[in-house]
Chains A and B, each alone.
Chain A
Amino acid sequence: MDAAQALADLTEISSQIEAAVLFGEDGSVEGSTLDGEGAAQGLVDAATRLLEAAASFRGEGGEVTQVEASTSDGSVFVVVDGPRRVAATTAANPTVGLVFYDLKSCLREVGSEPAKPKRTRRAAAAAKDEKDEKDPGDA
């Protein structure tokens, strides 16, 4: 699934998320719900600095996977999954666990293979019937 589709799904399932940006570890924007590239890049820059500052508190090996900054104006979430990151903003007092869950799901969806159409039992039976008609000796 591409970044735009994953973000569209994210904002559809999570009404708490006001804005979200998908970005790489080099700070490049992969997709955004924000109008304008400047706003998306601004959010990415701040999210990257948030991750770097948070990691510096732990020293060597302190790999940060998630950050939530809660202010009276709203909250900022950043989730890391390998080389890909997502940053999102919400209004004040969001349901933290739910937002993290939705952001992780979004990251998992990006880059995943599009779901293959499932082969139903009926389709399998039809295929078998067709095969039997062609080669009646096998049955």
Chain B
Amino acid sequence: MRRLLGLLGVLSGASAGTFLYRRSLGRRRDRVDVYFADGSMVSFVEGAAEADRLLPVAREALAAARRPAA
């Protein structure tokens, strides 16, 4: 009985871990990657001040491109 409970505990722990891992993979955060002439690249993730300035402009660009022609 104790072995069975132990096995159930391990299985439920593994399932919960898999679920949380997959959920974290599925949730991609909005971000902006900026590449400079010197070869460097900076990535600004949603929540950072720089990203919060750039992402609304990017959304405007998407909206402009997807706006139906008048």
> Interface size for chain B: under 10, 10 to 19, 20 to 34, or 35 or more residues?
20 to 34
Contacts of A70 in B (CB 8 A): 28, 30-33
How far does the alpha carbon of A100 sit from the alpha carbon of B24 in the complex, in Å?
27
Q: Say yes or no: A46 contacts B36, CB within 8 Å.
A: no
Interface residues of A in 105-125 (CB under 8 A from B): none
Interface residues of B in 25-61 (CB under 8 A from A): 28, 30-37, 42, 50, 53-55, 57-61
Q: Say yes or no: B58 contacts A71, CB within 8 Å.
A: yes
From known contacts A67-B34, A70-B31, A74-B62, infer whether A53 and B54 are also in contact, taking CB-CB under 8 Å.
yes
Interface residues of A in 25-75 (CB under 8 A from B): 34-36, 38-39, 42-43, 45-47, 49-50, 53-54, 57-58, 62-74
Q: Say yes or no: B53 contacts A53, CB within 8 Å.
A: yes
Q: Is A130 an interface residue (CB 8 A)?
A: no
Q: Is B4 an interface residue (CB 8 A)?
A: no
Q: Is A87 an interface residue (CB 8 A)?
A: yes
Q: Which residues on B are within 8 Å of A, measured CB to CB? A: 28, 30-37, 42, 50, 53-55, 57-67, 69-70
Q: Which residues on A are within 8 Å of B, measured CB to CB? A: 18-19, 34-36, 38-39, 42-43, 45-47, 49-50, 53-54, 57-58, 62-74, 76, 87, 89, 93, 96
